[in-house]
Structure 1
């Protein structure tokens, strides 16, 4: 990694911490804050999401004016979601907005940085736990400066699996989600968990307390940073049908090793979702 990317990563860590403070400060005024809807009645966005993204993008533009951005709220406001070879900041200002609205304390600021469509560093700041997860390509993954290592468990029957229900309430989609859940639970596994934040779920895999995480329907800003944290902690990433992970596909399977991942692939009842980079 060149010095300029190290400078960018240092900036990402600093601005993520600042954004996290903004998120914590906003909790006290949540009763007054307008909660808006995006794609459905359970796809929430707040003024804080928008303010935090604006803070991050403005601070990055001042320091790296030639860089590109993919931001959750920018895309929601109509910006195109396209990943090019150019240096690109991939930002989820509040990963776990529903958690934030309910003060359920799994909320993260997620910042990924890609060059040539490859994530070069990832920063995930778990705001309420003051945990800063960082990863640089080829240089390891850390939480608050301590090295991360995935679980060494190879027996899926002794694993904890993380997943989420998403915000699509279409009955056919919900049936598929529960079909997968039933099949995973009856492998059987030790348990199924979900933090309500894709980025935090991936950091749990990297930390070794969860063996795998899968989800269909997430977005590139949910997983860009976390995917590198998993990879640099020794984990594997793939598509839910077993191929290579595609950041724009809205499908992810992150696991501590390939055997656990491949066993999970057999149980996931796949459904189709519109790609992030599909023409609007």
Structure 2
């Protein structure tokens, strides 16, 4: 029986590489001459251009109207963020936009594919590093075609935990974020890290470089591809309250094993966020 999604998977890898080349080109040729005031415009234009490249290429390959799309830039413009049973691409064209502006070397293209609300595969191209992470459900996880696997550390005191501050700078949320980090450090863990991109963070869990990544406030396009990669590398995904992972909840713990995940969950100070699939309020 023919594999129904192998072609889509292979094409996603090719498109991610093409998109990454476009990001590198924008960074090398444009960002050095940008003023601080105009870097926001560059990021917006690059995000939009790369998303158009990805979605345009997918529509051309698979036919207009056959697949659905959830893209960061499309949602920002008012498109609904609803995952249905239809074949759906979940796309973050430039994950790590602040890194992109500063030339910090972690910027990723994230492309995931879901059918019947189940993630089938994920591709994360860390384009400044030129590392291609990818995984298909039930077929393992890879970095540049080499198999990857989560670490076997079970002692929280020997772990490195990765997280991010997020973009919401409201005092209440910042207080909870740093209180959580303080608790982690006092467990104590070996260290806390942050690459500035959720997709890359999840790949670092998958390769065993860190034991866990958690964040509240991320979006489905940040983590969909990484979720497949972590699972296929032998890792685990949970909600920050210990319940099942929910792609649309904007909160997640990914870890090498349940022991590490549940120990981290004990220290997380949860704060409310609006779900990605929440109804859009009409103005």
Q: When the two structures are superposed, what TM-score results if normalisation uses the length of structure 1?
A: 0.95
Structure-2 separation of matches of 1:132 and 1:49? 19
Name 1:68's counterpart in structure 2. Answer: 68
Q: CA RMSD in A?
A: 1.4
Question: Number of residues paired by the alignment?
Answer: 274
Name the CA distance, whole Å, in 2 between partners of 1:225 and 1:111: 6
Relative to 1, partners in 2 of residues 1:183 and 1:2: Cα closer, same or farther, differing over 3 Å?
farther
Look up the match of 1:118.
118
Q: Distance in 2 between matches of 1:2 and 1:92?
A: 29
Counterpart for residue 47 of structure 2: 49
Residue number in structure 2 paired with 1:109: 109
Q: Distance in 2 between matches of 1:237 and 1:185?
A: 22
Aligned to 2:182: 182
* Aligned partner of residue 79 in structure 2, secondary structure: coil
Residue ranges of structure 2 left out of the alignment (5+ in a row): none
Structure 1 residue 46: Cα displacement: 2.4
Gaps of 5+ in 1: 38-43
Return the offset for 1:130. 0.7
Q: What per-residue deviation string (whole Å, max 9, x for no partner) do you get for residues 36-90 of structure 1?
A: 38xxxxxx94211110000000000011220000000000011111100100000
Give the whole-Å Cα distance in 1 for the aligned partners of 2:152 and 2:43.
37
SS in 2 for 1:161: strand
| 1:84-233 correspondence runs (5 A) | 84-233=84-233
Task: Specify the alignment match of 1:40 in structure 2.
Answer: none
Partner of residue 36, structure 1: 40
> Which stretches of structure 1, 4 residues or more, deviate above 4 A after TM superposition?
none
Q: Deviation per CA, 1:105-139: give whole Å up to 9, x if none.
A: 10000000000111100000000111000000000
Query: What TM-score, normalized to structure 2?
Result: 0.94
